[in-house]
Amino acid sequence: MKKILVTGANGQLGKCIQDAAAEFSDFEFVFVSKQELDIENPELLKKYFSENNFTHCINTAAYTNVEKAESDAEKAFAVNAEAVKNLASICTKHNVVLLHVSTDYVFDGKKSKAYSENDVTNPINVYGASKLKGERYIQEICSAFFILRTSWLYSQYGHNFLKTILKYAEAGTPLTITTEQTGTPTNANNLAEALLQMIAQDSKEYGVYHYSNGGETTWYGFAEAILLQTKKLEEANLAKTNHYSTFAARPEYSVLDNTKAKNVLNLKQPNWQESLQTLTRKMMISNNFERE
């Protein structure tokens, strides 16, 4: 039986994996939060891995506050790079396959067509640089690993763009959203399913992959689709801008080319609009809007 450790279990992707795990009854899952297993602590990792016989580790633990990372670079690198180095080392020692989630922000956004895994990385903010360093540690240390770069993650859980737009719309707060950046909103539930499918098919095609939903849009286009699909567009005060100031630089174009993941890993990647519609319908039917 496959025994899978999932770190960062209280984050939005960790919670989506917990939901998806119900469809994989032949797997044994161990979900741990930062409080239960801090991957920044190598001694804790050694003890935990010695006491368990894991076959796979899905690392969803990450420092994801892109803006705050600019003034908190030490912490961002501690979590996204040095802690990942710890995890890569312990997985290698115990022959555990590591599945690690990375980001489109490892690219500078200067291209005008989708980024492939072979394109040169050149992050333009601290968050992207810290995630790239984590990727490099894995590639240097591990032989059995999958790095999945994804983009613009959202879900019914945690803090994300979908939840923020709905919260502001309900409160009547004006929404001025940028058209400067183009990418692909990705439903974290789809990513969770993809990660578990990779384990189920027992692929040995290790390496770096891109996984996002299909298509592309701007943040404004994403906001408009959210409000349209939740029937809040008419009542919302939505406006667009092409000059939205942020502390952290953002890539102007960070669409990911998913061809390799489709062809090599046979992963399904629904169009972003279809996937958003599926989730918003489910949330509206069940009133499943996690409040924080």
Q: How many helices (H) and strands (E) does the chain have?
A: 11, 12
In the Cβ-directed half-sphere of 90, how many Cα atoms lie within 13 Å?
26
Instruction: Tell me how far apart the alpha carbons of residues 31 and 22 are, in angstroms, rounded to a whole number.
Output: 13
Owner of token pair 């408009």: 224
Structural contact between residues 265 and 200, judged by C-beta atoms closer than 8 angstroms: no
Structural contact between residues 1 and 28, judged by C-beta atoms closer than 8 angstroms: yes
Let me know how long the chain is: 292
Q: Where are the alpha helices (DSSP H) in the chain?
A: 12-20, 42-51, 66-69, 73-77, 83-93, 126-141, 161-171, 188-200, 219-229, 259-265, 272-286
- Which of 63, 105, 115, 127 is the catalytic position? 127
Instruction: Tell me how far apart the alpha carbons of residues 124 and 108 are, in angstroms, rounded to a whole number.
Output: 6
Q: Is 154 a catalytic residue?
A: no
Tokens of 89: 């080392």
Q: Which amino acid is located at 266 in the chain? A: N
Task: Say which DSSP state 214 is in.
Answer: B
154's enclosing H/E stretch is strand 153-154
Structural contact between residues 42 and 86, judged by C-beta atoms closer than 8 angstroms: yes
Active-site positions?
Answer: 127
